[in-house]
Amino acid sequence: MGSTNVTHIRQRREEWFAPSQTLATTSSALSETAHSPDRADRETAAGTPEPLKCALIELLGPEKVLTSVSDLVRYASDASPYRFVPQAVVVPKTTKDIAALFRFAHEHSRHLVFRAAGTSLNGQAQAEDILVDVRRHFVGIEMMPDNRRARILPGTTIAGANVALSRHRRSMGPDPASAIACTVGGVVANNASGMTAGTTRNSYSLLESVTLVLPSGTVVDTADPDADPTLLASDPELCSGLLSLKSEIESDADLVALIRAKYAIKNTNGYRLDAFLDGTTPVQILRGLAVGSQGTLGFIAETVFNTVALQRHRSAALIFFADLHSAAAAVPAFTEVGAIAVELMDGNTLRACAVVDGVPSDWGQLPRSTTALLVEFRESDQGDLDEREKAATSVLDSLKVITPVPSVTNSFTRDAKQVHTLWKAREAFVSAVGKARPPGTTLITEDFAVPPASLAQACEELLELQSKHGFDAAVAGHAAHGNLHFLLAFDAANPLDVERYAEFMEEFCSMVVGTFHGSLKAEHATGRNIAPFVELEWGQRATDIMWRLKKTIDPHGILAPRVVLDRDPRAHLRGLKTIPVGGEIGDDCIECGFCEPVCPSRDLTTSPRQRIVLRREILRQPTASPVATNLLETYGYQAVDTCAGDGTCKLACPVGIDTGALMKQFRAARHTSFSERIALTAANRFGAAERGARTVLRLATAVGDRPMGTATRLLRRISNPELIPEWLPELPGAARPLPDTSGTARPAGVYFPSCVNRIFDGPQQGETSLPTAIVALAERAHHPVVIPTDVRGACCSTIWGSKGFGDGRDLMANRIIERAHRWTDGGRLPLIVDATSCTLGLVREIAPYLSEDNRRKHSDLTIVDSVSWAAEVLLPRLTVQTTQSTVVIHPTCSMRHLGVVESLQQVAESFALSVTTPASTQCCGFAGDRGLLHRELTESATTAMAAEIAAHHYDAYLSANRMCEIGMQHATGAAYRSALLELERATRPGS
């Protein structure tokens, strides 16, 4: 990033970071948050201390060590209420790197903490010394020959694993609500279970074997027949220590009884002492101890899971009760008739979930006392599901249910979309309630378990305790397993609020253990919040064994200190995270990390969560602090410029936070009035700009790629690199003239060729152009379309909006709606758009920038994406003449926003025998012209996709947006084209 840009950012700090506020308000807010107790200290401004930085780089190489203040701060937060700034962040690639880190930690008395997805809710993924990011390079899944077991690397997400397993009609047993983001390694390390796993489908039950890197550096594959003698030879003291603890436990009948009772219900508090009862050798004991170890006993380098059958037939209902007690009392009736899941959601949870996409808005008016049960049955056989549903309906008829708002039906449904919406609401529990919390408060998420028969009473006493301490908490949980979650919000910067929380925790823990003999942690693992209370639950004898266990396996204490065991009774109050208020989109973020797996820039610069985390740190700092200054110098490139702005983070976020929209606001805030005028002029004369772009492409065809690359690089150096695109060899030639449709009689639609398809040709010279193909398809299906004669110079305005040029965006938005209204005869004909990003812009993104009159015109229009139009309208009227054997498709992020991914699949299946969507498919990061401004963004975003696609040969590579096709061609070397081009060829008469 150039020095001019840096200076500009510094000068406009307040406007950039709070564009919706006045300078005075922002300065006041900065002053108020400058004393945040958790802010990064002044020494952090320089990044990793030099001796540690040099030593780690020498050990691992510079590409695996992150040392800037931005790196340290963006890794300082996870989904928990804690915040610790690490001294350094390392990104190992192999188990050899891990073993080297262990040796380094021994020799230099350093501490290591592992982090994968950072979705842990109790600070397990936070370090005060060296943080080890194992998400990026430890990804992969391999089905074993029996098609029942799977070998899975720890950085693989549960959702990703399930996609791969579904092809074999299998799935993972654990199914936490964070499956989209959480990783297999994290699930095993925390024994996270989820909605249906209980105590029989969790990691402890289904993990067949594990490969561990022990703190000594020894690598143990517990499936290896020679693992025990090998471990004895390398680590004899470890082996003897484990067997000694096993003998001691087994000789104490009361302790054995306690351990068995503790694991009769869900329990992740402390270490898995039943591993000593279930394993007979040191290696078998280690396999059990790895589950729930929370990164304190070694690194889980690989797992082999026994998978479960994928039960495709599902029936679910959301059943409403007048109060929490009535709902809890009804749980056993549904479990007795075979419900695989019975999820409880109290009134606060239901009300908060009204903001979740697809959830009825009238949930927001539900009485606070209302409680609902989400009940689901799953079966492999349709007939079995019929029987389950029949029994459940009988149970439902016997219950006293209520209909508090019109949307409530209290009936079972098998509609996949409705079932998905119900589960989406349940899975959004933490984020939705977090969105509803008072501004500036920190969210605490706790979970506990009691014997299922005590659930109703536990609910009542929990609510009484919350009320006593002034909390209006939300409660939800896996009621079938006696497992409840609750959320509390308080101001971590207010000592009185912290003390109120501390008093609540003391009484809560005493209640769970003393009254209900329950588990203080059911599935989120111990973590920093419960570590001081392990002895309260387990007693001194068992806790002492846990301390000795930790010393036996990790004698130097290098791994994750204070995460599982802590003798400080107030340790859970250390490092609580404050939440500065910036007054915009990101304030609702609880830093859950669901957005990270789908972000194109996550492995290049920052993820959406990290963009918000960095912004919050800037707000915590005094205005002139060196930390804030250094963060600002890099934020432009790391957060704003390399954000694709594709909005997939909004799709992944349970409450729809669009961090890309925030970055666009920041782009707008740093524009000068001069650059705004230039952008407005370009909008006014966009027809000329189109002609100029085509002229450049014709010139490029004549002179070749090398001169064009040299010229654009020079222009980028002397001008603003955020406005001048880089030349890529994959850029096609100039588009050919649009087909003449002036003679079309009685058109069935108006075809709007997007500007990218009016500028760029297809991937191969000589083939039919996309506009020609669409017109031909329409005629062939007896559904002719007309192209407006004044289409040139019209644009959906996305180009200006993505760059933050408000005046140009507003001009183009109003111009296209005025023209479209005229073209379509006031909306009588549909407007068919041939680029999904433009369709999305016209359908959803354009409305806020229209005049009142044009809003009315916009509401008159029927805007249709060309792919969905082809699938729904043309395909039934077309005859496929030729077929392809195998094709691979790339659904664009705009298609996901529009919900038309299935249309692309349907079009491709009409002419292909096999259609593949790569499991790693995500946004390509090209994002209009962002891939021309920052080619490294596309190259990083497509790494996994390109590798997966390169492993196979396909007859055709298809998508539905010209710029995405160029990006995918750059990534894979394959000539991606519109699926409609291939459809036209396949249905061409006589082909």
Q: What's the pLDDT band for 709 if we cut at 50, 70, 90?
A: confident
pLDDT tens, position by position, 834-854: 999 999 999 999 999 999 999
Same domain, 165 and 204: yes
Give the model's confidence band at 431: pLDDT under 50 very low, under 70 low, under 90 confident, else very high: confident
Strands 170-171 and 141-143: unpaired
The answer to whether residues 151 and 196 belong to one domain is yes
Is residue 113 included in any domain, yes or no? yes
In DSSP notation, 442-483 reads EEEEEEEE--GGGHHHHHHHHHHHHHHTT---EEEEEGGGTE
584 shares its domain with 555: no
Predicted confidence (pLDDT) per residue in 197-243, tens digit: 888 999 999 999 999 999 999 999 999 999 999 999 999 999 999 99
Q: pLDDT for 326-380, tens place per residue?
A: 999 999 999 999 999 999 999 999 999 998 888 999 999 999 999 999 999 999 8
Clarify whether residues 416 and 506 are in a common domain. Answer: yes
Which pLDDT band, with edges at 50, 70 and 90, does 11 fall under?
A: very low
499 and 372 housed in the same domain: yes
Q: Output the pLDDT for position 17.
A: 42
Same domain for 407 and 451?
yes
Confidence at residue 796, expressed as pLDDT on a 0 to 100 scale? 93
The residue type at 204: Y
Cα–Cα distance, 772 to 457 (Å, whole number): 70
- The answer to the question of residue 678 being in a domain is no
Residue at 794 is within a domain: yes
pLDDT at 4: 31
Rounded mean pLDDT of 737-762?
Answer: 94
Answer whether residue 475 is part of any domain: yes
Nearest residue to 9 via CA among 669, 930, 673: 669
Sheet arrangement for strand 65-66: 65-66, 88-90, 130-133, 112-115
Same domain flag for 945 and 925: yes
What CA dihedral angle connects 183, 185, 188 and 194, to 10 degrees? 0
Burial 514-526, CB ≥16 within 10 A → b, else e: eebebbbbbbbbb
Task: Among 864, 898, 915, identify where a domain stops.
Answer: 864
**Total domains in the fold of the chain:** 5
Span 87-134, pLDDT tens digits: 999 999 999 999 999 999 999 999 999 999 999 999 999 999 999 999
Residue 872, Cβ neighbours under 10 Å: how many?
Answer: 13
**Mean pLDDT for all residues in the chain:** 92
Tokens 């750059």 correspond to 970
| pLDDT at res. 20 | 33
Q: How many CB atoms lie within 10 A of CB 789?
A: 11
Q: Is residue 706 part of a domain?
A: yes
Q: What pTM was estimated for this model as a whole? A: 0.92
Residue 162: CATH number of its domain: 3.30.465.10
Q: Provide the pLDDT for residue 32.
A: 43
In a domain, 670, yes or no: no
For the chain, give the percent of residues with pLDDT over 70: 96
Measure Cα distances from 384 to 316, 358, 389, 480, 630 in Å: 14, 29, 9, 21, 62
Kindly state whether residue 411 falls inside one of the protein's structural domains: yes
- Out of 864, 889, 920, pick the residue that ends a domain: 864
Q: What is the per-residue pLDDT for 35? A: 64
Do 482 and 415 lie in one domain? The reply is yes
**CA nearest to 294, candidates 190, 153, 185, 182:** 190
Q: Name the percent of the chain lying above pLDDT 90.
A: 83
Q: Is 928 within a domain?
A: yes
Q: What pLDDT score does 718 carry?
A: 82
- pLDDT, mean of residues 454-466: 90
505 plus 562 within the same structural domain: no
Looking at the fold, whether 473 and 561 belong to one and the same domain comes out as no
What's the rounded mean pLDDT across residues 469-488? 89
- Provide mean pLDDT across the span 247-261: 97
> 764 falls in which pLDDT band (50, 70, 90)?
confident
- Claim to verify: residue 584 and residue 574 sit in the same structural domain: no
Residue 574 has pLDDT above 70, yes or no: yes
Which position has the token pair 């070998």? 151
Assign residue 889 the CATH number of its domain: 3.40.50
- Helix axis angle, 673-684 to 806-823, nearest 10°: 20
Mean of pLDDT values over 384-392: 93
pLDDT at 146 over 60: yes
Domain that holds residue 916: 873-987
Model pLDDT for residues 47-83, shown as the tens digit of each residue: 999 999 999 999 999 999 999 999 999 999 999 999 9
Q: Provide CB contacts within 8 A for 876, sequence distance 6+.
A: none
For range 877-900, the mean pLDDT: 95
pLDDT at 10 over 50: no
Query: What pLDDT score was predicted for residue 763?
Result: 87
Q: Give the pLDDT band of residue 195 (cuts 50, 70, 90).
A: confident
- Is the same domain home to 730 and 852? yes
